[in-house]
Amino acid sequence: MTTPPRAVLRITCQDRPGLVSEVSGLLFKLGLNIHHADQHLDAEANLFFQRIEFPVPDGWDRVREDLTQALGRLGMQYSLRILTERLRVAVLISKHPHCGLDILDRHRTGELQCEVPVVISNHADLGPEISRRGYTFVHEAIAGNKVDQERRILARLAEERIDLVVLARYMQILTGAFVAAHPNRIINIHHSFLPAFAGAEPYRQAFRKGVKLVGATSHYVTEQLDEGPIIAQGVTRVSHRDTVQDMERKGRDLERVVLAEAVRCHLEDRIIAYGHKTVVFE
């Protein structure tokens, strides 16, 4: 028996009594069978968030139109997507291979359900390794003109109809124009437990502070460096015996896992970003 594809509805609105009943009643009237639902209330902001999964019914186009019109009348911000409609992801890397290759390997094995039409780098070093895995590799050197380089990358992203950009240790600060072109659709991995040790060389910063934990943080990119809404984080222990290189070695595993988790959550529509924060549904 074939399992029907699932649709995901995400809702954001001002909190008020009866919202859960209101939304579930609406879906019931439209003949939609809720398989999973989760919600969250930010009491300080008075904001209600909900994520609902349900099988896609026959006559989906009509049902979708009725549902979106009803949600609009209720004054709700929403997104609605069938999960089999895979997002198109571009991976941007520099010289550090671990995060980028890990994302590609998880994609190849089916763990990350998406399309990866292009991998872009400001260095040519990893081209043979990425091409060997069957991916299209594009080398876009900065060559002293970052504005032109970003313009070429943005043109390629538009040509490939990219839905999500993953910065897999892409060691460049993006301009405001680049970020504005993909709001809440650029995910970065920063090799520290933000907000601690933002900016360059965070492991060296941590070593100088004598910390006993180092971490990794995946977040959406905004114009403010390393201050975008946080999606996932992880930490591991270090000691006084660890050098900067030891911290980097221990941190690499964290970086892989934390970035992959953030990308997976985005691909499955589990994240709602608002202000400087996110709601990440399990």
Task: Report yes or no: 227 and 256 within 8 Å, Cβ to Cβ.
Answer: no
Structure tokens at 94: 């520099």
Close Cβ partners of 222 (under 8 Å, ≥ 6 residues apart): 179, 228, 229
User: Which of 164, 222, 216, 223 has its CA nearest to residue 190?
Assistant: 216
233 Cα distance to chain centroid: 13
Cα gap 157→165, rounded to integer Å: 9
The upper half-sphere exposure of residue 68, i.e. CA atoms within 13 Å in the direction of its Cβ, equals 10
Per residue, what are the HEC states of 166-194?
Answer: EECCCCCCCCHHHHHHCCCCEEEEECCCC
Cα gap 271→282, rounded to integer Å: 9
Listed in order, strand segments (DSSP E) in the chain are 6-14, 36-42, 47-55, 77-82, 88-93, 115-121, 137-139, 164-167, 186-190, 213-220, 230-237, 271-274, 277-280
Residue identified by tokens 């209101």 is 22
Active-site residue flag, 226:
yes
Residue identified by tokens 């004054």 is 75
Of 226, 242, 246, 269, the catalytic one is 226
Cα gap 246→29, rounded to integer Å: 58
167 phi and psi, to 5 degrees?
-90, 95
Catalytic residues: 226
